[in-house]
């Protein structure tokens, strides 16, 4: 594209149109984008039409109730993200030179991390009250899609992809434990073995989740095939199933709250447990992290384990 054509293109599109376009891609549809930007849906649709007219090609295709990017849309989105990130970085670096920490941190985490991610964000925002946070909680598969699309600043998961295209580092222990109903025959028993577990029914996370991978690795090492009774995509659903007597499970200790156990659930005393596991935080290789993202990453490096410590009673 020559200089004149580039100049003409810049005259046809606006920053606001790119922000709206970005919001549609991040939220998944026009309605949620409008809500996130406090605009009406007709306004969002009109701005997208103007952007498509400026580009000269459609950016979205609608299949049923789902909205998908066209090939042109994917190209435009990649450049739109670069432009918006550059503008955001400019704003935050100027604020940083003034001794301030302002801007937005976009953090995406797997579902299990929802038990402590808000706690980490709360402590971080106490130190930097000018920071706004956009937290996305989703399953591992969708998180990897967001990582590939470079939608967020940082990503938190228990089993990062084995790829040269990403950079991840451990920052917090994530012990995995065997969880059962307090009414289960093994609850309260000492020295439960892997063979004892072989006779139990298991409620598992969906294939591909980090917890599922760790569970499968454990039983493979023991030469045992677990008896899977049910697969569920939510830790909350698994805990309800355990309490209902449908089986036992291997879960992150963090899912049971900061006291280690929750309600009618119990952690079994099983040989070889807890399984040492870790939480990782990372981003796409080559990504230029914003001032706020760098500050949050440094916060996790220095405060990782303290995140799980009980906070002192405000009334004390």
Q: What is the pLDDT of residues 24-66, one digit of tens each?
A: 998 888 988 888 888 899 999 999 999 999 888 999 988 777 7
Question: What span, in angstroms and rounded, lies between the C-alpha atoms of 239 and 265?
Answer: 8
Residue 155 has pLDDT above 90, yes or no: yes
Q: Let me know whether 167 and 250 are in one domain.
A: no
User: What pLDDT, on the 0 to 100 scale, is given for residue 195?
Assistant: 87
Residue 155 backbone phi and psi in degrees, to 5: -135, 140
What average pLDDT does this structure show over 167-194? 90
Residue 67 backbone phi and psi in degrees, to 5: -110, 130
Residue 12 backbone phi and psi in degrees, to 5: -90, -20
Q: Does any domain span residue 249?
A: yes
* For residue 274, cis peptide bond before it (omega within 30 degrees of 0): yes
CB of 290 closer than 8 Å to CB of 92: yes
Q: Does any domain span residue 189?
A: yes
Closest residue by Cα to residue 116 from 266, 309, 315:
309
Q: Where are the alpha helices (DSSP H) in 62-186?
A: 71-97, 117-127, 140-149
Q: How big is the chain, counted in residues?
A: 316
The CATH number of whichever domain residue 41 belongs to comes to 1.10.10.10
**β partners of residue 275:** 176
Domain that residue 60 falls in: 3-76
Q: Let me know whether 70 and 128 are in one domain.
A: no
pLDDT band at residue 315, thresholds of 50, 70 and 90?
very low
pLDDT band at residue 1, thresholds of 50, 70 and 90?
very low
What average pLDDT does this structure show over 143-157? 91
Residue 2 has pLDDT above 50, yes or no: no
pLDDT digits (tens, 9 = 90+) for 11-23: 778 888 999 999 8
Q: How far apart, in Å, are the Cα atoms of 6 and each of 1, 10, 54?
A: 6, 6, 12
Q: Let me know whether 70 and 14 are in one domain.
A: yes
Domain count, the chain: 3
- Other C-beta atoms closer than 10 Å to the C-beta of 276 total 10
Residue 174 has pLDDT above 50, yes or no: yes
Residue 136 has pLDDT above 80, yes or no: yes
Closest residue by Cα to residue 133 from 151, 118, 115, 143:
118
Element (H, E) at 259: none
Q: Let me know whether 105 and 233 are in one domain.
A: no
Q: Let me know whether 208 and 250 are in one domain.
A: yes
User: What is the Cα Rg of the chain in Å?
Assistant: 23
Question: What span, in angstroms and rounded, lies between the C-alpha atoms of 105 and 108?
Answer: 10
**β partners of residue 281:** 156, 169
Cβ burial, residue 244 (10 Å; 0-12/13-18/19+): exposed
Those residues whose C-beta lies under 8 Å from the C-beta of residue 252, and which sit 6 or more positions away, are 112, 115, 158, 174, 175, 176, 177, 211, 235, 277
What average pLDDT does this structure show over 201-205? 90
Residue 3 has pLDDT above 50, yes or no: no
Share of the chain above pLDDT 70, in %: 88
Q: Let me know whether 262 and 204 are in one domain.
A: yes
CA dihedral 122, 237, 194, 263 (to 10 degrees): 70
Question: What span, in angstroms and rounded, lies between the C-alpha atoms of 242 and 182?
Answer: 9
What average pLDDT does this structure show over 180-197? 90
- Other C-beta atoms closer than 10 Å to the C-beta of 33 total 24
Tell me what the pLDDT averaged over the chain comes to.
84
Q: Does any domain span residue 316?
A: no
Question: What span, in angstroms and rounded, lies between the C-alpha atoms of 240 and 237?
Answer: 5
Q: Let me know whether 256 and 184 are in one domain.
A: yes
Q: How far apart, in Å, are the Cα atoms of 233 and each of 23, 202, 247?
A: 26, 14, 15
Q: Let me know whether 132 and 186 are in one domain.
A: no
Range with the lowest mean pLDDT among 51-65, 97-111, 130-144?
Answer: 97-111
Instruction: Give the chain's largest Cα–Cα span.
Output: 77
Query: How, if at all, do strands 166-173 and 154-157 pair?
Result: unpaired
């Amino acid at each position: 594209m020559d200089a004149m054509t580039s100049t003409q293109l810049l005259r046809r599109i606006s920053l606001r149109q790119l922000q709206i376009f970005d919001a549609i891609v991040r939220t998944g549809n026009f309605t949620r984008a409008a809500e996130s930007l406090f605009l009406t849906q007709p306004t969002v649709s009109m701005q997208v039409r103007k952007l498509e007219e400026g580009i000269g090609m459609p950016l979205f295709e609608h299949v049923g109730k789902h909205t998908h990017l066209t090939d042109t849309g994917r190209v435009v989105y990649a450049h739109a993200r670069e432009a918006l990130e550059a503008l955001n970085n400019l704003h935050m670096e100027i604020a940083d030179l003034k001794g301030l920490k302002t801007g937005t941190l976009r953090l995406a985490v797997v579902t299990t991390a929802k038990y402590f991610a808000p706690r980490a964000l709360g402590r971080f925002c106490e130190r930097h009250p000018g920071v706004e946070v956009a937290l996305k909680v989703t399953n591992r598969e969708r998180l990897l899609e967001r990582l590939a699309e470079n939608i967020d600043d940082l990503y938190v998961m228990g089993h990062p992809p084995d790829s040269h295209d990403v950079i991840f580092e451990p920052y917090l222990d994530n012990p995995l434990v065997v969880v059962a109903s307090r009414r289960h025959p093994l609850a309260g028993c000492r020295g439960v073995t892997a063979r004892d577990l072989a006779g139990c029914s298991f409620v598992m996370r969906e294939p591909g989740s980090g917890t599922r991978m760790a569970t499968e690795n454990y039983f493979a090492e023991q030469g045992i095939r677990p008896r899977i009774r049910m697969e569920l995509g939510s830790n909350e659903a698994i805990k309800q199933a355990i309490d209902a007597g449908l089986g036992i499970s291997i879960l992150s200790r963090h899912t049971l709250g900061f006291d280690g156990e929750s309600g009618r659930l119990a952690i079994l005393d099983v040989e070889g447990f807890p399984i040492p596991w870790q939480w990782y935080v990372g981003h796409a290789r080559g990504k230029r992290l914003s001032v706020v993202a760098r500050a949050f990453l440094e916060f996790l490096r220095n405060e990782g384990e303290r995140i799980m410590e009980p906070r002192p009673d405000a009334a004390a």
